[in-house]
């Protein structure tokens, strides 16, 4: 059972549609019991970290995600879902987050001529081999919409990087969790390939 977590952070329709294109009917849920029973979890989202964490706690989805992570369930975080898996976010006065990956979420630096939010297509340079990257070309472009970015505390958890004013981690991983700052469900055939790879992944990865 592939579960898509609904914590009122939008962006669910395109995820459901992309999974259907791959022959999978994802179950959208706010029920923590369903999340804990999932065989794999997609954790998307757009919006602000403070609101997101408040809703995750209200629905008891924060603990369900921690339980699933500790159980080894494959998890894919997307955009806001990638940012709140870290210890805290600079957004909304250093919002405490899920703590599944050590590190923080930081604001993209504002520079003359640099558009914030970072919106549109940009390349991702993979730094490590990972099962989710199978059949993906180097420096392919993916779709981004964000003003903050994830910054794991340990370099070995950075799987890919992107340039926008700074070089920032755009893919990170720890054990059975992979998180992308970009939106694979909005990134054409390469995004679909990454999702297909996730559906095949057994969740094993070096920590």
What CATH number does residue 138 fall under? 3.40.50.880
Segment among 5-19, 92-106, 121-135 with least mean pLDDT: 5-19
Give the residue among 62, 64, 61, 171 at the shortest CA–CA distance from 123: 171
> Is residue 205 included in any domain, yes or no?
no
In total, how many domains does the chain have? Answer: 1
- Maximum distance among all Cα pairs of the chain, rounded to whole angstroms: 48
**Residue 23 neighbours by CB under 8 Å, 6+ apart:** none
What average pLDDT is seen over the chain?
Answer: 95
Provide the whole-model pTM: 0.96
> Is residue 170 included in any domain, yes or no?
yes
Q: What is the pLDDT of residue 91?
A: 93
Where does the pLDDT of residue 207 fall: very low under 50, low under 70, confident under 90, or very high at 90 and above? low
Q: Which helix (H) or strand (E) holds 78?
A: strand 75-78
Average pLDDT over residues 7-14: 86
Catalytic residues: 79, 183, 185
Q: Is the pLDDT of residue 149 over 80?
A: yes
Handedness of CA 167, 168, 174, 177 (dihedral sign): negative
């Amino acid at each position: 059972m592939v579960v898509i977590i609904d914590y009122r952070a939008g962006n669910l329709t395109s995820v459901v549609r992309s999974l259907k294109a791959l022959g999978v009917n994802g179950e959208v849920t706010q029920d923590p019991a369903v999340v804990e029973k999932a065989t794999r979890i997609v954790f998307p989202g757009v919006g602000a970290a403070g609101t997101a964490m408040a809703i995750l706690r209200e629905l008891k989805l924060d603990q369900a995600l921690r339980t699933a992570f500790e159980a080894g369930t494959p998890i894919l975080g997307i955009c806001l879902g990638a940012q709140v898996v870290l210890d805290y976010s600079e957004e909304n006065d250093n919002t405490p987050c899920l703590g599944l990956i050590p590190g923080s979420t930081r604001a993209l630096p504002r520079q003359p001529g640099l558009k914030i939010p970072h919106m549109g297509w940009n390349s991702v340079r993979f730094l490590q081999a990972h099962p989710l990257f199978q059949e993906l070309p180097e420096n392919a472009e993916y779709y981004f919409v964000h003003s903050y970015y994830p910054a794991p505390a340990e370099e070995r958890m950075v799987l890919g990087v992107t340039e926008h004013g700074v070089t920032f981690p755009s893919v990170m991983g720890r054990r059975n969790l992979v998180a992308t700052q970009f939106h694979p469900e909005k990134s054409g055939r390469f995004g679909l390939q990454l999702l297909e790879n996730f559906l095949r992944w057994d969740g094993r990865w070096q920590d």
